[in-house]
Chain A
Amino acid sequence: MTADVLVVVALALVAVAGTAVVLTHDPARQAVTLSLSGLALTVLFVVLQAPDVALAQVAVGSAVVPLMVVLAVRTTRTLAARHREQKRT
C-alpha cells in the first residue's frame, strides 16, 4: 500500500517536472528544469526498485546533458553578441 502511494507520488512528480521542461521557453533555464526532471525520474526508478537505472539517470540526465546544454547555449549567445556588435560598427 505505502509502496503504491510512493509510486503514484513519484509518477506525479515526473509528470509535473516534464511539463515544466516543456513550458520553459528559454533554453538556459530549460537546462535547470531538465535537470530537475532528471532527478524526478531518478526518484521514480528508486521507488520502482531499479537502482542501476536510477544511477545512470541521475548522472546522465541531471548532470551531463544539462551541462552540455548550458555550454552550448553560452557559446551560441557569445557568438550572437559578437555578430550584433560587428553589424553595429
Chain B
Amino acid sequence: MSRRSRLAVFLVGAAGVAALYLLAVLHAPAFGTTTHPMRDAAVRAALAHATANVVSTVNYDARALDTLGEETLLLASVVGAAALLRPTARERETRGAHEPVHVLEPVQLAGYLMLPITLLIGADVVLHGQLTPGGGFQGGVVLGTGIHLVYLTGRYRALENVRPLRVFVAGEAVGTAVFAATGLAALAGAGFLANVLPTGTFGTMLSGGTVPLLNAAVGVEVASGVIVLLAGFLDQLHRTEAAA
C-alpha cells in the first residue's frame, strides 16, 4: 500500500469517526446536570435484581453478552500472544539455569509483605463485585499481577513454583467456558445469559443472582490470562538472557 492510499484510507475512517462523534456529542445530555436517563434505567435494573453495584448489573446482567464478547476477545489475544512468544526449536534447547539475581533486601521484603495483601485485595474485589466497585475483571487483573511480586524476590524458580503454568492455561479456558455455560443454562428459563438464579437480599454476599457467579468466572479467566500472558514475556526474556 502506497503512502497516498494509506492516507486516503485513514481520512475516510477519520471522517466517519468524526461525524459519528459529533452526532453523539451533540445529542448527549449536558455534562454535570441532574438528568441521567441511562443512570435511571441502570439503577432500576440493579434494584430489580438486588445488585448493589449498578455497574455490575450493566456488565454481568443487562449486558452480560457484551462481557462474554470481551472475555472471548481477551482469550483470543492471550492465545495470540502465547503463539507469538512460544520458544523456537533452537531456543528450546538452551534451557537457562535461572541463577538467583541479587535484589536489594528492602525490595525483597516489600515483595514478601505485599504478596499476601495484594492477593487478598484481588480476591476481595472479585468476590464483592455485586456489592462494591470492582468485580471479576479488576480483581482478576490484581490477582494475576500480584502473584508476580514473587519475582521481586529475585528467584525465577520461586515464581515458577507458585504459578504452575498448566493450571492457569486450563483456568483461562474454564473461566470462559463457565461464563458461556451459565448463559446457555439460562436458555432453559428466560434466554441466553438471563439472570435466572434467585436474586437474594439486596446488599448481602449472596445477592444479584448470576452476577457473583459470572464475576467469579471472569475473575478466574482474567487472572489466568494475565499470568499466561506475562509468563510468555518472562520466559522469552529468560531464554534470551540464558542464551546470551
Contact = CB atoms under 8 A, between A and B. Distances in A.
A74 interface: yes
Nearest to A74: B237
Contacts of B230: 64, 67-68, 71
B138 interface: yes
Contacts of A4: 32
B166 to A, nearest CB: 21
Interface in B97-152: 125, 133-135, 137-138, 141-142, 144-145, 148
Contacts of B244: 78-79, 81-82
Contact of B141 (A54, A64, A75): A64
A68 B237 contact: no
Contacts, number: 59
Which bucket holds chain A's interface residue count? 20 to 34
B40 interface: no
A75 B240 contact: yes
A57 to B, nearest CB: 9
Interface in A54-68: 54-56, 59-60, 63-64, 67-68
B233 interface: yes
Nearest to B138: A55
Interface in B225-244: 226, 229-230, 233-234, 236-237, 240-241, 243-244
Contacts of A60: 141
Contacts of A59: 138, 141-142, 145
Contacts of B236: 71, 75
A8 interface: no
Interface in A39-65: 51-52, 54-56, 59-60, 63-64
B237 A52 contact: no
B148 A52 contact: no
B55 interface: yes
A68 to B, nearest CB: 6
Contact of B134 (A55, A67, A81): A55
B53, B134, B229 pick with most chain A CB within 10 angstroms: B134
B126 to A, nearest CB: 11
Interface of A: 4, 51-52, 54-56, 59-60, 63-64, 67-68, 71-72, 74-75, 78-79, 81-82
Given A78-B241, A82-B240, 15 more contacts: A52-B133, A55-B133, A56-B137, A56-B138, A59-B145, A63-B141, A64-B229, A68-B233, A71-B234, A71-B236, A72-B233, A75-B236, A75-B237, A78-B240, A81-B244
